[in-house]
Structure 1
Amino acid sequence: MTLTVEQFKALSDIEQLQTVKDLNDTEQVETIIDVLTSVGTENLSIPLLGELGRAYNNNGNEKEAIKVLESIDEKYRDAVWYYRCAYAYGVIALGNNDAYTSDAMQQMLRLVDKGVRLATKEDRNDIKEYFFEIIDMCYMQMDFEQCEAEYTELCKAYSQYVVGKKRNKRGVPHHRTITVEEIQATDDMWTINEPMYWTINIYGSHDDYIESSKGFTLEQRYLNAICWYFAEVNNGGHHQFFYNSTGIVWEDALAGLQRFKMDELANNFQTVLDFFGGTVPFDREERWKLLQQSEDNPEFFEFLDEKDDVVYEYDGIFEDVFVHENPHLFVFDGTYTIPE
Structure 2
Amino acid sequence: MASETVEYQIDATFIDDNDSWAIIEPLWWTVSIYDGEKKYEQDLSKYSKSQRLVFACHWYMSEVNNGGHDQFYYNSTGIVWRDAIECFDAIGATEISEIIKSSATRLGGSPSLDRNERNEVLEKIEPKFDDLDDRFYKLESQIDIEKLIKVFISKRKSDFVFNGKVLKP
TM over 0.5: yes
Partner of 1:223: 54
- Aligned residue for 2:98? 267
> For the Cα contact (< 8 Å) 1:226–1:256, is it kept in 2?
yes
Tell me which amino acid in the other structure corresponds to 1:275: R
Query: 1:330 is aligned with what amino acid?
Result: F
Aligned counterpart, 1:326: 156
CA distance in 2, matches of 1:237, 1:322: 25
Give CA-to-partner distance per residue, 1:100-131, whole Å, 9 cap, x none. Answer: xxxxxxxxxxxxxxxxxxxxxxxxxxxxxxxx
Q: Offset of 1:170 from its aligned partner?
A: 6.5
Counterpart of 2:121 in structure 1: which amino acid? L
1:218 deviates by: 0.8
Partner Cα distance (2:79, 2:2) in 1: 25
Using CA pairs below 8 Å that are at least 6 residues apart, which structure has the higher relative contact order? 2
User: What is the CA distance between 1:310 and its match in structure 2?
Assistant: 2.0
State how far apart, in whole Å, the 1-side matches of 2:135 and 2:111 are: 20
1:184 touches 1:327 (CA, 8 Å); kept in 2? no
Q: The residue matched to 1:203 in structure 2 has which SS? A: coil
Q: How does 1:14-25 map to 2 (within 5 A)?
A: none
State the match for 1:83 in structure 2: none
Looking at structure 2, the residues matched to 264 and 323 of structure 1 have their Cα atoms a distance apart, in angstroms, of 20
Which position in structure 2 is the counterpart of 1:307? 132
> Paired residues, what number?
164
TM-score, normalised to structure 1's length? Answer: 0.46
- SS of aligned partner of 2:9: strand
State the match for 1:175 in structure 2: 7
Please tell me whether the aligned partners of residues 199 and 336 of structure 1 are also in contact (alpha carbons under 8 angstroms): yes
Q: Which residue of 2 aligns with 1:193?
A: 24
What are the superposed Cα offsets for residues 264-303 of structure 1, whole Å, 9 maximum, x if unpaired? Answer: 11111111112223210111111111101221xxxx32xx
* Deviation readout 1:299-318 (Å, 9 max, x if unpaired): x32xx111111221222252
* 1:243 corresponding residue in structure 2: 74
Conserved in 1, the CA contact under 8 Å of 2:12 and 2:157? yes
Give the aligned partner of residue 281 of structure 1: 112
CA distance in 1, matches of 2:144, 2:154: 12
2:167 matched to which residue of 1?
337
Shift of 1:194: 0.7
AA of the residue aligned to 1:211: Q
Scaled by the length of structure 2, the TM-score of the pair is 0.90
Query: Larger radius of gyration, structure 1 or 2?
Result: 1
Percent identity over the alignment is 34
Is the CA contact 2:81–2:100 (under 8 Å) kept in the aligned structure 1? no
Which whole-Å CA distance do the structure 2 matches of 1:185 and 1:176 have between them?
Answer: 14
Q: Secondary structure at the match of 1:173?
A: strand
Determine the C-alpha separation between the residues in 2 that align with 1:224 and 1:203.
Answer: 14
Q: For 1:324 and 1:310, how far apart are their aligned partners in 2? A: 28
Distance, in Å, in 1 between the alignment partners of 2:116 and 2:107 is 15
- The structure with the greater share of residues assigned to strand is 2
Give the equivalent residue in structure 2 for 1:166: none
Match 1:258 to one of 66, 72, 89: 89
